[in-house]
Every structure is written in C-alpha cells, then in structure tokens.
Amino acid sequence: MTDIVLKAEGITKQFGGTKALEEAGLEVARGEVHALVGANGAGKSTLIKIITGAYQKDEGKIWLEGREIDIRSTFEARALGISAVYQEFSLINTISVAENIYMGRLIRKRWGPFPKVDWKQINMEAGKILDMLHADIKPETIVGDLSVAQKQMVEIAKALSNDIKVLIMDEPTASLSDNDIENLFKIVKNLKDKGISIIYVSHRLEELPMICDRISVYRDGRYIKTLDIEDAPKSVIIENMVGENMTATEQVDASREEVLLEVRNFSSGKKFRDVNLTLHKGEILGIAGLAGAGRTEFARALFGADPHDTGEVWMEGRRIEIKSPADAKREGIGFVTEDRKEEGLILGMDLHTNVGMTILEKLKKKFGLDLQKEVELTDGYIQSLSIKCRDGNQKTGDLSGGNQQKAVIAKWLATEPRVLIMDEPTRGIDIGSKNQIYALMNELAAQGIGILMISSELPEVLQVSNQVMVFAAGRVTGKLVNKYLTQEILLDYATRAIS
C-alpha cells in the first residue's frame, strides 16, 4: 500500500455547535477498493463531501498523488479526477443519457461564425464509455425511461467521462436487485484493474468481503481504524462501529386472534393480481420477493397512493373505501415509504413541521394551530426514538439517513395508526439503527398495532416477521409461518412464478 493516491489527515468539520468530523483521516491506494463503514452520523458522508468539494473543511489537509490540494467545489474535484456516485442520483430525467454525461461541458464544433453543439460526437463519446461498462443503454435514450440500475450506470459513466483517479460510491447497491448487484461488482473490479481507486460506502456489511480490499471504520465523527478485509469479519466491524458487542433484536410474536386488516382479491393491471391478505392485531407480516415482484405497488395501492382495479379492504370487520392517502390515514393506516428523501420528508423543513403536517386536524385550535403541542409531541418522539439532532428546529435534510428514517416513522406514529405499512424501513442505514427500528416494531406490535413490512433483505424478513407473504411476478406464491424458514425457502417461493 505504498502507492497512496488519496490521503486525508486531521479533517475537522463543524455545523453550528455539532462536530460532524474531528481529526478524521483516510488513506486510499491506487487500484484499491476501500470501504468506509460506520453508524449513521459517524461522519462518512461529511468526509466524502469534503473530498468531493461539496463541503469545505474547517481543519486538516488532503493530498492527491502526493500533492496537497484544497478543493473548493465539486467542479474542482472532478477536474482533479475525483468524482462521486451518490445513492440519490443527480441526473435530469427529461434529457438524454449522453447530455447527462456531458452536462456543463458539451462538445462543440464551428458552424460558420458560431459554435454549435456536436451531438454526433457527444453520442459517440458517451457510447464508448457505456460500452466500456458493458451497459446496454443507447446514448440517445431519455434518462427518465431507464431503470434504477441503468441510471446508476449513467452516473458511473458520467464520472468516467473525466480523467478519473478516485471514484466514490455511496450506498451503490441499496436500490439494486441481486443480478444488478452482481453486474455492478464486475464493473467495480474492472475499474480497479484499470488502476482507478474506489471509496466504497455501504451499510451492507455482508457484501464487503466480495468487493473490498480494506475497510476504514468511523464512529461519532472520529476515525477508529483501518483493517485488511481478511481481518474484518462482520462481528469485528460491528464491534468497532458501535464500540461494544451489540445484541441483535430477537423476533417477538405479539399477534392476537382478532383480525385487524383483511384484503380480498386486490388487483391492479399487470402490477399485482388477486392478492389476499389477513393481518392480526400485534402481528408483523413480512412481505418478501425479488425486485419487480409487485410488493411496493401493492402497498401503495392499499394506502391509496396509486389506483387499483378490483378488490376489497376490511378493517376490523368493516368494509372501507380507500381512494387516497387521506382516506387511508383517516382509517388508521400509516405508510413509511421506501424513499424517505423524495416522499417521506420535506428536507428543507424542520422536524417539528414534518411531524406536525400529518396531524394538522389535531393541532387546530380556534385561531391557527397549536404549535406548542406540535413541539411537545415532536420532542417526545426525538427522545423515545433516539433521534440524533440538535433539537426539533433542525432541518430534516441535515440529519443522517438513519435519523431521517426515524423522523418518517415519528410523523406516522403521531397519527396513532392501527396499521403501519413499512416499505424497506432500514434501507441505507447502519446496523445499530436497524436494531433500534426492529425493537421499535416489536414495541408497536406489543401495543396491538399491525405491521406490514416490505423488505428486500431476507435476513431482515426472517429476523422480524411473525409470518411471511412472498410475491413473485405480481402474485402471492406463499404465505408462511416464520418457523424453521430459511432464505433458500423464501427464494424458492420468490422465483416460482418466474420459473
């Protein structure tokens, strides 16, 4: 590891009265895949934003290929050969793939006295990069027509269109299917063979041995240690992340005999067909399946966010009509969406406002809203859910991913739901926050709340659920009691309709 491409030393960054990073460091070798791990709020995102010029450091030094650099913007970082692919894409959906790749630096040619954009050359150069990635994407395609995995390929192509030395990948597999993840790993190994260094940020600890050479652990804004991948089994990584041995949350069965929610013959075109479901009070019903199986589409239709063609919904023996999220909320159904940034929160608003907007009718008084009640309610959830923030006046966009997820849960708990739909409730958050959310789900179930939990992580489904319903190609292929279940059994049901 003598050929160090990127080195950061003594990096400190403070936001208001909160130190996000304190004396943090990192060394990345040429052609290395170097993982950054740590709990939400450990400082990983702040560090990579400083390296890419999105944030300015308060103290510390950064070297690139032995030369000290002072990065003032993302444009400067890209010019130096440092680019990032974030979990939330920075693409424009209404324009072509090629235009996204070369946005801000379109190739031009002379046309008489005036320069003109050379679309033929732009499409040709973009095509070369996409071919190098073995991506079956045409440069002329509109980005909005692409899948999540294809959009990620475009983001990587955009980074590679520069003379790149360091590529930062932030939670690159969070929204991908198993096949897409396998393809991504092939691309990462190919880039590594070309001498490109990759900083790989992920909460999926089980995937790190497949792709990484070394791991650097951060905790509470401080650098803890760097380990060779051979010396970093999952238990060791977790111990360094949390500073102590952590006990996993065990499955608790608080389900009762009373039927809370019943769905009969629910269908929506080709998205899902003839779904039947029974949820008891205090039950955690896991919904498993591969990407595109129709799980999220079913949940959104049940909540009234999307229309459905046929079917009935019954709540405690009474048939109800749900044509909108307002109807669902009125009937006691809450929905923790899988996309917390786009659909779950208003990132530019503070915690108090985000929580209060779901219960405006409860906050009404003769003139205006009871803002004191909103503050007291939110402060209670900050304490009970252990939301790490300055106070309830902090913008949700400034919180870490795990704390944003807790904020989404808080806003729906404020509605006092009888049924809570949780779509990918732990996506993109660390193992400590995951266990806190699992424990919270057990507490809610003990109070008699019924939970529908959609998850792509089969170990999570097996750890938390009392029963599991498996989707494949829009149909339910299995309803299983979670006793002696294995990942292999769930995968068998998840592929039945396909095979």
At 348-407, the pLDDT tens digits run 888 888 888 887 877 787 777 778 888 888 888 888 888 888 888 888 888 877 788 888
User: Is residue 454 within 8 Å of residue 338, measured between CB atoms?
Assistant: yes
The mean predicted confidence, pLDDT, of the chain is 87
| CB neighbour class for 423 (10 Å; exposed up to 12, middle 13-18, buried from 19) | buried
Rounded Cα gap, residues 34 and 32, in angstroms: 6
Q: pTM of the entire structure?
A: 0.62
Give the per-residue pLDDT at 105.
Answer: 79
In the DSSP assignment, the letter for residue 230 is G
Residue 435: pLDDT band by 50, 70, 90 thresholds? Answer: confident
* pLDDT given for residue 20 in this prediction: 86
Q: Are 228 and 236 in contact (CB under 8 A)?
A: no
CA-to-CA distance for 453 and 64, rounded, in angstroms? 45
Q: At residue 206, does pLDDT exceed 70?
A: yes
Assess contact for 341 and 302: CB atoms under 8 A: no
Q: What is the arithmetic mean of pLDDT over 294-311?
A: 93
Which pLDDT tens digit goes with each residue over 103-137? 887 878 877 677 888 889 899 999 999 988 888 89
Average pLDDT over residues 235-255: 73
CB 242 within 8 A of CB 435: no
**H or E element at residue 78:** helix 74-80
Determine contact, residues 37/236, Cβ cutoff 8 Å. no
Lowest mean pLDDT across 74-78, 250-254, 471-475: 250-254
According to the per-residue pLDDT averaged within each range, which of 167-171, 237-241, 361-365 is highest? 167-171
Work out the number of other CB atoms within 10 angstroms of the CB of residue 310: 11
Any residues with CB less than 8 A from the CB of 26 and at least 6 apart, and which?
6, 7, 8, 34, 36, 47, 51, 199, 216, 223
